[in-house]
C-alpha cells in the first residue's frame, strides 16, 4: 500500500486514465467529479480508439472544470497490450496523489500506470467489469497478480465482479459503482410523444452473436401487428441479420441506422416504443451492465432485457426480464407492451425514476468521490 498524507486544505489531485473517455457523453462524469470541493482532476484519453466497429474519434464534448489531456497510445485497439508511451512524463509533471486506472487489472496499461504511480507515492485504483473468473496466460496472469497485490482500491461495475476478484486473491477494498452514468437532462423523455400505428422497437450496440439479435428477429416475426425494428450499431453480423429478417418476411420492417455518435443517442431512443437487449451468456462472456438500458430508461423508453449477467441487476423492477434465448418469452413480452399502453407508461415512469435514483452521472461521480476521499482520508481533503 502506498501512503498519502495531505494537509486539510490541500486539494486531492486525481489523475484518471481512460480510453473510454473518447465518448463525449462519458465526460459528463468528470465534470461532476471536478465540481466536488477539494478535487483537482486531470483525465488522460487517447485521440481515438479502434475496436470492431472501427475508429472512435475523441469527442471533446464536456471539459469544464478539469483537464482533458490527449495522449497517443501504442498498439491502439489491442485491449490487453496497449500502453501510453508518454505516461511517465505526464505523471511526473502532474504529481497526482491518486491515479484512477479505468481499466482491467490484467491489462498492460493498468500494470504500467500502477507501477509509475507507485514511484511517486500515489495511491491507485482499478476499474473492472469482469463477471466471469477468466484465467489468462503469462504475461497477463503475472501482471494481474502484481496489480492485485499493489493496488490500493478496486471499483467494479456489477455484483458478480466482487466474487471474481475475491476468488483471484484481491483482498483490498472494493466498491460497486458503474463506470459511467447518464446525464438526465440530455437523456430525457420527449416532450411530445409520437403517436402512430407502427410499434418501433430498438436495439443499440455491437452486432455480434452474443447480443442475441437473431433471437430478437425470430421473436419479432411471431408478433402480430405493424412493428419496426431500428438497429443502431455495427458489427460482423450486420448482413446476416438482414438476411434472417428477409427469410422471416420482416425485412422491410428492419432498418440499420449504423453507429451513432453519443450526442445522437437521445434522439434515437426517443423514437422508440421499447428497447430490447436480448443478450446471450457464453462461456467467455455475459452481459456486464448494458449501458443502453439506462440510456433508454432515462429517455422514458420501456426496456426488455434477458437474464444474462448484470441485466436484471440494472433493470430491477423497472422493466421486463425474460429468460435468455427464449423466443416465446420474448414474443410474449413484446406483445404485452404492444397491447397494454398503460403498462408501457408505468415502465417508462419506473425506468426514468430508477435512473434518477441510481444511474445519473452526478450520482456515479459522487460515489466515486467517496472512494477517493476514503483512500486519501477524510481529514486530508477537508471532510
HEC assignment per residue over 78-93: CCCCCECCCHHHHHHH
Non-local CB neighbours of 327 within 8 Å, separated by 6+ positions: 215, 218, 219, 222
26: left (phi over 0), alpha (psi -120 to 50) or beta: alpha
Which of the 8 DSSP states describes residue 147? H
Global pTM value: 0.88
User: At 270, which helix (H) or strand (E)?
Assistant: helix 265-270
Cell of 115: 507501477
Q: What is the CA radius of gyration of the chain?
A: 22
Q: Would you give per-residue pLDDT tens digits along the chain (383 residues)?
A: 455 555 556 899 999 999 999 998 899 999 999 999 999 999 999 999 998 667 889 999 999 999 999 999 999 999 999 999 999 999 999 999 999 999 999 999 999 999 999 999 999 999 999 999 999 999 999 999 999 999 999 999 999 999 999 999 999 999 999 999 999 999 999 877 666 789 999 999 999 999 999 999 999 999 998 999 999 999 999 999 999 999 999 988 999 999 998 889 999 999 999 999 999 999 999 999 999 999 999 999 999 999 999 999 999 999 999 999 999 999 999 999 999 999 999 999 999 999 999 999 999 999 999 999 999 985 344 33
Given the C-alpha cell 433508454, which residue does it identify?
296
Q: Are 304 and 275 in contact (CB under 8 A)?
A: yes
Q: Are 313 and 279 in contact (CB under 8 A)?
A: no
What does each C-alpha distance from 33 to 10, 59, 265, 266 come to in angstroms? 17, 19, 23, 23
Structural domains present in the chain:
12-181+360-381 (3.40.50.2000), 199-358 (3.40.50.2000)
Cα–Cα distance for residue pair 312/316, rounded to 1 Å: 6
Alpha carbon 364 to its chain centroid, in Å, reads 12
Amino acid at each position: 500500500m502506498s501512503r498519502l498524507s495531505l494537509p486539510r486544505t490541500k486539494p486531492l489531485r486525481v489523475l484518471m486514465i481512460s480510453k473510454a473517455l473518447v465518448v463525449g457523453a462519458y465526460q459528463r462524469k468528470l465534470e461532476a467529479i471536478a465540481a466536488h470541493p477539494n478535487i483537482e482532476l486531470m483525465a488522460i484519453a487517447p485521440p481515438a480508439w479502434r475496436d470492431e466497429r472501427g475508429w472512435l474519434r475523441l469527442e471533446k464534448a464536456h471539459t469544464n472544470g478539469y483537464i482533458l489531456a490527449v495522449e497517443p497510445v501504442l498498439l491502439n485497439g489491442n485491449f490487453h497490450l496497449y500502453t501510453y508511451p508518454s505516461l511517465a512524463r505526464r505523471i511526473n509533471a502532474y504529481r497526482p496523489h491518486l491515479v484512477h486506472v479505468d481499466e482491467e487489472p490484467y491489462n498492460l496499461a493498468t500494470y504500467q500506470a500502477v507501477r509509475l504511480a507507485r514511484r511517486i507515492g500515489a495511491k491507485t485504483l482499478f476499474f473492472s467489469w469482469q463477471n466471469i473468473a477468466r484465467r489468462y496466460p503469462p504475461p497477463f496472469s503475472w501482471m494481474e497478480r502484481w496489480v492485485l497485490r499493489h493496488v490500493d482500491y478496486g471499483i467494479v461495475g456489477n455484483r458478480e465482479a466482487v466474487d471474481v476478484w475475491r476468488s483471484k486473491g484481491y483482498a483490498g477494498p472494493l466498491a460497486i459503482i458503474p463506470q459511467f452514468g447518464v446525464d438526465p437532462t440530455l437523456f430525457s423523455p420527449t416532450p411530445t410523444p409520437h403517436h402512430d400505428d407502427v410499434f418501433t422497437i430498438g436495439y443499440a450496440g455491437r452486432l455480434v452473436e452474443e447480443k442475441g439479435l437473431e433471437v430478437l428477429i425470430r421473436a419479432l416475426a411471431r408478433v402480430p401487428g405493424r412493428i419496426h425494428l431500428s438497429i443502431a450499431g455495427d458489427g460482423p453480423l450486420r448482413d446476416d441479420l438482414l438476411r434472417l429478417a428477409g427469410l422471416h418476411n420482416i425485412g422491410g420492417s428492419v432498418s440499420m441506422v449504423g453507429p451513432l455518435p453519443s450526442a445522437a443517442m437521445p434522439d434515437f431512443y426517443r423514437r422508440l416504443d421499447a428497447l430490447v437487449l436480448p443478450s446471450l451468456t457464453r462461456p467467455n462472456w455475459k452481459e456486464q451492465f448494458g449501458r443502453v438500458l439506462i440510456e433508454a430508461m432515462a429517455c422514458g423508453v420501456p426496456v426488455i432485457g434477458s437474464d444474462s449477467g448484470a441485466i436484471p441487476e440494472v433493470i430491477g423492477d423497472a422493466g421486463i426480464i425474460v429468460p435468455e434465448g427464449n423466443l416465446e418469452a420474448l414474443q410474449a413480452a413484446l406483445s404485452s407492451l404492444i397491447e397494454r399502453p398503460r403498462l408501457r407508461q408505468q415502465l417508462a415512469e419506473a425506468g426514468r425514476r430508477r435512473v434518477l435514483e441510481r444511474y445519473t452521472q452526478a450520482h456515479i461521480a459522487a460515489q466515486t468521490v467517496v472512494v477517493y476521499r476514503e483512500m486519501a482520508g477524510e481529514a486530508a481533503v477537508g471532510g
